[in-house]
Structure 1
Amino acid sequence: MSRDDLINTTRAILAKGGFDISPLMSLRSVCFDVVGRRDDTLLIIKVLSNIDAFSRENAEEIKVLADVLHASPLVIGERSSSGPLEPGIVYSRFNIQIISNDTLADHVLENAPPFIFAAPGGLYVRLNNELLRTVREKEGISLGTLADVAGVSRRTIQMYESGMGAMIDAALRLEEYLDRPIIETVDPFEYKPDVSSRTYELKGNVKSGSMILDHLIDIGFAVTPVTRSPFDALSRNKDVVILTGMDNQDERLIQKAMIASDISRISGRHSVIIVEKKHGRDNVESTAIVSKEELKKMDDKNELTDVILSRGGKQ
């Protein structure tokens, strides 16, 4: 299956599952391919035929976007150098979960989340560690007994009770012996951040080297530059997050503005593109267009925010 077909399959699954999804992106070399929201779940998704192509740089930018936008990063893949991605298994790379479209469809459309995750050493399942400990203590079962049942050491049982994943065979033996459903599902949309966007944030006296972004910093915004997105930075204060682009080529400007507009709509944020000279229009869909000359005259972040809200049609 081609990568475009893979992306369209992902989009179709999410749409059928009730997600509001971004249109097919025409820009290449960006760190994500699909943005989708259903209720409080916001996903930023990269789709790859071979997940070995997922680079650390790509992962870092997706995680920065996820942190700022309060989203979950996800990779959809078809195979790796080790073979095809198996349905019902959650893989990971650079602390971002990876699943196949089959697994996505089961989770989103059939309400059948996966139970197995891949990690160094093999395939594992998650245990309800509190239930495991409670049942063992309540029924007076020793660590040694459970160790014998599972075929592991006493220390391993203690680690299971502390939250460590278990090999599938050991977990099934424990579940059968205890007669309790101690194996838990894996949420492929779960994300525990290991990167804070604050690490890359510029504010105060720190400069970016870009006159436009430096002016945004000077008037009170914190700015996080990005290089693999259809915009150039994320600008924010305590009230708003603004997808911030810079361009002056008409065709590319409209293309970037439309993509930013779709992403801002789905993510519940605002978007602006700052151009070199006054443009013939004040917005493209919900993306505000502001000239560099207009920006120079602004000396307060609220002034720019008001212009963006007014031109973008969001109040």
Structure 2
Amino acid sequence: MKVDYSSITRENMLYDINILLNTYDFQTSNIYDRSCFDILARRDDILIILKIYKNIDSLTQTQAEELSKVAGTFLASPIIIGLKSKHNYLEEDVVYERYELPVISPQTLCNIIANEIHPEILSKRGGYYVKVNGELLKQMREKYNLSLKELADLSHVSRETIYKYEQGNSQTYPETLLMLEEILNTNLAVDINLFESDYYKSLDRKIKEPRELIKLGYDVKSSNKTPFDAISERKLENKKLNKLKEKLDNTLLEVEKLKSEVNKQRVRNNILITNMERKRNEKKLNQIAEQTRDIAEITQNEALFVLEDSKDKKTIKKVPSIYTWELKDMDNFEDLIKLIKERKKEVEDS
């Protein structure tokens, strides 16, 4: 039966995707449709950041760059969900690209989450491509006692092409891969796991406020298209971070373990979702606080307000408020983290 996509609205898509995520044990944020992302979702160590469009051509380069940087800051996996492009509807189990971000249909997302079926086909300029499992290809070729040239002749490609496939996870046309799979009687395609985050860009528009946080060793990076003002990230010793990156690059067998270690070093007690007073009224501060608390809970980071006026507010909607005079009296970031936790505990105990 043909599906009538014309009756589906973006609001329908947002609602259905949120239900899907919750059904399969993802903790989801509120929906932020005026942000560079719509939904943050976490399940165990998986953190994804979604932007939903009916027409994916609505995504601008500026929005994509901001989404990529926010994802990199939180070590999340950014995914664009859409029904169609200007000319065609998106195909099921195919990954498209827009501004270097992965784009999939709602049904593909459902297949991944509900059935753990990851797509294998990547749509790029020039057509469809699949990644070849080079190690398995070589193993099966040798099992069948085929030389590089013999396998190349059977699959109608060059010897150099087969050699290139075996040296790494190269891309080829689906038709070529199917022919190789028929010859070697095995599945050689590599799944595209969109939940594995390779986004290490971070917000880079540094601002010079609040000065008190900067004095404690934080880089304060602003974001124009998010429900919060900035991300404050504590600077790590370069030697330690560089050593981790070097291991990550050189030790393929320990990639997942090192990613987890880098994650802990970068995120734990290093990132603060930061908001400033900026002469906002109480209603606006409460609204920002609710959004910030929601995002902090999903991303498992701390959040705070930095206030200048003397308003005896230790928290705003359960988000700790730290005054600039308090920050001036601190000598290091441990004092700040301790005060944030004390403020949160006072709310929990009250």
TM-score (norm 2): 0.79
Matches of residues 195-210 of structure 1 in structure 2 within 5 Å? 195-197=200-202, 200=204, 202=206, 208=207, 210=208
Equivalent of residue 228 in structure 2, options 219, 228, 231:
231
Distance 1:135 1:261 in 2: 52
Find out whether 1:105 has 2:135 as its counterpart.
no
Aligned 8 A contact 1:286 1:313 in 2: no
Q: Which residue of 2 aligns with 1:245?
A: 275
Equivalent of residue 78 in structure 1, options 55, 58, 83:
83
1:182 shift after superposition: 1.4
1:294 shift after superposition: 4.1
1:175 shift after superposition: 0.4
Find out whether 1:168 has 2:196 as its counterpart.
no
Q: Deviations over 1:57-112 (max 9, x none)?
A: 22222222222222111111111123111111111223321111111111101222
Tell me the SS of whatever aligns to 2:107: helix
Q: Deviations over 1:275-308 (max 9, x none)?
A: 3423464224442123445445545433332222
Tell me how many residue pairs correspond in the alignment.
304
Greater helix content = 2
Aligned 8 A contact 1:96 1:191 in 2: no
Equivalent of residue 272 in structure 1, options 301, 304, 307:
304
Distance 2:25 2:155 in 1: 41
Distance 1:15 1:68 in 2: 24
Equivalent of residue 59 in structure 1, options 64, 73, 76:
64
Q: 1:304 to 1:222 in 2, by over 3 A?
A: same
Distance 2:14 2:312 in 1: 35
Q: 1:280 to 1:9 in 2, by over 3 A?
A: farther
Q: 1:293 to 1:34 in 2, by over 3 A?
A: same
Q: Which residue of 2 aligns with 1:16?
A: 23
1:132 shift after superposition: 0.2
Q: Which residue of 2 aligns with 1:205?
A: none
Q: Which residue of 2 aligns with 1:153?
A: 158
Q: Which residue of 1 aligns with 2:217?
A: 220
Find out whether 1:122 has 2:127 as its counterpart.
yes
Q: Deviations over 1:184-209 (max 9, x none)?
A: 3221223323x532x8275xxxxx3x
Distance 1:106 1:39 in 2: 19
Q: Which residue of 1 aligns with 2:252?
A: none
Matches of residues 134-153 of structure 1 in structure 2 within 5 Å? 134-153=139-158
Distance 1:313 1:67 in 2: 30
Distance 1:163 1:221 in 2: 39
Distance 1:200 1:180 in 2: 46
Q: 1:155 to 1:305 in 2, by over 3 A?
A: same
| Range 251-260 or range 50-59, more displaced | 50-59
1:159 shift after superposition: 2.6
Find out whether 1:303 has 2:335 as its counterpart.
yes
Find out whether 1:262 has 2:325 as its counterpart.
no
Distance 1:192 1:2 in 2: 31
**RMSD over aligned Cα, in angstroms?**
2.3
Q: Which residue of 2 aligns with 1:41?
A: 46
Q: 1:233 to 1:113 in 2, by over 3 A?
A: same
Aligned 8 A contact 1:231 1:246 in 2: no
